[in-house]
Amino acid sequence: MDEFEIIASIFAPLAGEGAFGLQDDAAIIPARPGFDLVVTTDAIAEGTDFFAFDPAASVARKALRVNLSDLAAKGAAPHAYLLGLSLPPSMTPDWLAAFAAGLQQDQAEFGITLLGGDTGRSEGPLAISITAFGFVPQGTMVRRDGARAGDDIYVTGTIGDSGGGLAIFSRETHTLDEAQRDALTARYRVPQPPVAFGARALRGFASAAADVSDGLLADLGHVARASGVKLLLDADAIPRSDALRALWGDDDAAIVRTATAGDDYQIAFTAAPNRHAEVMQAANVCQVAVTRIGQVTAGAGVELARAGKLLPVQRSGYRHF
Tell me the backbone φ, ψ of residue 238, rounded to 5 degrees.
Answer: -60, 120
| 199 near ligand ADP (CB under 6 A) | no
Binding mask 65-104 for ligand ADP (x = CB under 6 A): ------------------x-x-------------------
| Site stretch for Mg ion (CB under 5 A), options 42-50, 55-63, 115-123, 226-234 | 115-123
The only residue of 118, 177, 242, 251 in contact with Mg ion, by rule CB under 5 A? 118
* Partner touching 22 among ligand ADP, Mg ion, none, CB below 5 to 8 Å by kind: ligand ADP
* Partner touching 291 among ligand ADP, Mg ion, none, CB below 5 to 8 Å by kind: none
Tell me how far apart the alpha carbons of residues 48 and 6 are, in angstroms, rounded to a whole number. Answer: 25
| Site stretch for ligand ADP (CB under 6 A), options 19-27, 229-237, 249-257, 268-276 | 19-27
Tell me how far apart the alpha carbons of residues 2 and 125 are, in angstroms, rounded to a whole number. Answer: 19
| Site stretch for Mg ion (CB under 5 A), options 114-122, 199-207, 223-231, 306-314 | 114-122
Subset of residues 208 to 227 that bind ligand ADP, contact rule: CB under 6 A: none
Nearest residue to ligand ADP on Cβ basis: 116
The only residue of 118, 177, 236, 250 in contact with ligand ADP, by rule CB under 6 A? 118
When the beta carbons of 1 and 298 are compared against Mg ion, the nearer one is 1
When the beta carbons of 67 and 241 are compared against ligand ADP, the nearer one is 67
| 24 near ligand ADP (CB under 6 A) | yes
| 25 near ligand ADP (CB under 6 A) | yes
| 2 near ligand ADP (CB under 6 A) | no
Identify whether the C-beta of residue 76 lies closer than 8 Å to the C-beta of residue 198. yes
Identify whether the C-beta of residue 131 lies closer than 8 Å to the C-beta of residue 86. no
| Site stretch for ligand ADP (CB under 6 A), options 113-121, 139-147, 177-185, 204-212 | 113-121
Q: Which residues of this chain interact with Mg ion, rule CB under 5 A?
A: 118
Q: Which residues of this chain interact with ligand ADP, rule CB under 6 A?
A: 7, 11, 22, 24-25, 83, 85, 114, 116-119
